[in-house]
Structure 1
């Protein structure tokens, strides 16, 4: 009764188009859900994201769920995820990706899921790390370790949107520190892949142990 009353006062709205949606639906109306810009990439070495990262640091596989572009549906979802206090949106997106990748051979070798850490200053300001629920959900789905204690972000960087690829990579040097020397096959999880500077920096730290391997998953790729 109270839920019905509250729903009438504060109806759920689609993150894409703003239309009111039924209480049983999550985040998007049926129309917007049907126009999600999926990459349809498997977690493997046969996509451009893998090629971009692997040209800079040796990884095993890579995948992204959605294509990100200015003003497209993905940008709206990421905006809600990062700035509107909807971190659980990442777990929902992890479910969407896993449903189409659960039988991929590369997944069977993943032993530890690592969210890209944010600096404590940004964590205090935002109140949460937006990729944590996604990483936790993937660890559950893969039946492997969730690991947020191996990498630490030790330098706080200002926005790098105006820098080119090589300047970004140079700026990201020594941004992350490896806290322990455990070996594993790590799946690094981030929200949006742009130049790859953040992913490369994280991977370099994890691969300081020569027995370790790295794969990458992001919710979107620009």
Structure 2
């Protein structure tokens, strides 16, 4: 007869933790016994949050000035090399920890839903992966961020875009190279109509903004669509 985990004595729970540690994904330290959240309280406090949501024009929107017509854009964290946000993103993208994206999305959604410009958002659209890359990874990290946002903002997640070109990794590319790499890489999904809607386009990390620009340009083909953006982190 199996014993529910919640009924295990504390000493046995601690013993199991030695062999199967429950670690914070931002600092890799042990989480308190019984904690289900993937981020410890210290990291929740110390993660470098931006104030983008408080300003229609900010460091995120500046990267797309003159390139797209945006309502606004916001990233939750500032990406710092070897910092907490980078470790979170590594676990999300490469360690199969989809729950990190959903957790951050729910957390950021709680922030954004109190901001007037985001209250008019009607649909959340994740930046898609190419089917080959999604099969290799097993999931799209932007989908999980979008799911969390959708839950806390009470908005539907709409798969409105698909990636039709398998592109090279952009980690070491210049802005011009990134723009060329994703040019014509996306197209709208047939049968989806977002005309007249305020759409929140979301991705995990903003660097030059080339991927978001390419996706945003496709969404703006819909008549009278209003476009905003959100990301987990923004890099210098």
Superposed pair shares fold, TM > 0.5: yes
> Residue 62 of structure 1 aligns to a residue in which SS?
strand
Partner of 2:10: none
Pairwise CA distance, 1:61? 0.9
Partner of 2:91: 80
Distance 1:100 1:218 in 2: 13
The answer as to whether partners of 1:44 and 1:106 remain within 8 angstroms in 2 is no
Partner of 1:176: 186
> Residue 66 of structure 1 aligns to a residue in which SS?
strand
Q: How does 1:84-163 map to 2 (within 5 A)?
A: 84-148=95-159, 150-163=160-173
Partner of 1:69: 80
> Residue 52 of structure 2 aligns to a residue in which SS?
coil
Q: Which structure is larger by alpha-carbon Rg, 1 or 2? A: 2
Unaligned runs of 5+ in 2: 6-12
Partner of 1:14: 24
Distance 2:69 2:221 in 1: 12
The answer as to whether partners of 1:14 and 1:20 remain within 8 angstroms in 2 is yes
For structure 1, which segment, 155-164 or 17-26, has the greater mean C-alpha deviation from structure 2 after superposition? 17-26
Partner of 1:209: 222
For structure 1, which segment, 152-161 or 6-15, has the greater mean C-alpha deviation from structure 2 after superposition? 6-15
Distance 2:62 2:29 in 1: 39
The answer as to whether partners of 2:79 and 2:86 remain within 8 angstroms in 1 is yes
For structure 1, which segment, 33-42 or 134-143, has the greater mean C-alpha deviation from structure 2 after superposition? 134-143
Unaligned runs of 5+ in 1: none
Distance 2:130 2:67 in 1: 24
Per-residue CA shift, 1:22-70, capped at 9, x if unaligned?
A: 2215223333332111112216522111121232111111000001121
Q: 1:39 aligns with which of 47, 50, 60?
A: 50
Distance 2:108 2:153 in 1: 12
The answer as to whether partners of 2:175 and 2:208 remain within 8 angstroms in 1 is yes
Distance 2:56 2:105 in 1: 20
Change (3 A) 1:135 1:43: farther
Distance 2:96 2:37 in 1: 15
Distance 1:119 1:62 in 2: 24
- Tell me how many residue pairs correspond in the alignment: 221
Q: Does 1:219 find its partner at 2:222?
A: no
TM-score by length of 1: 0.92
For structure 1, which segment, 110-119 or 207-216, has the greater mean C-alpha deviation from structure 2 after superposition? 207-216
TM-score by length of 2: 0.87
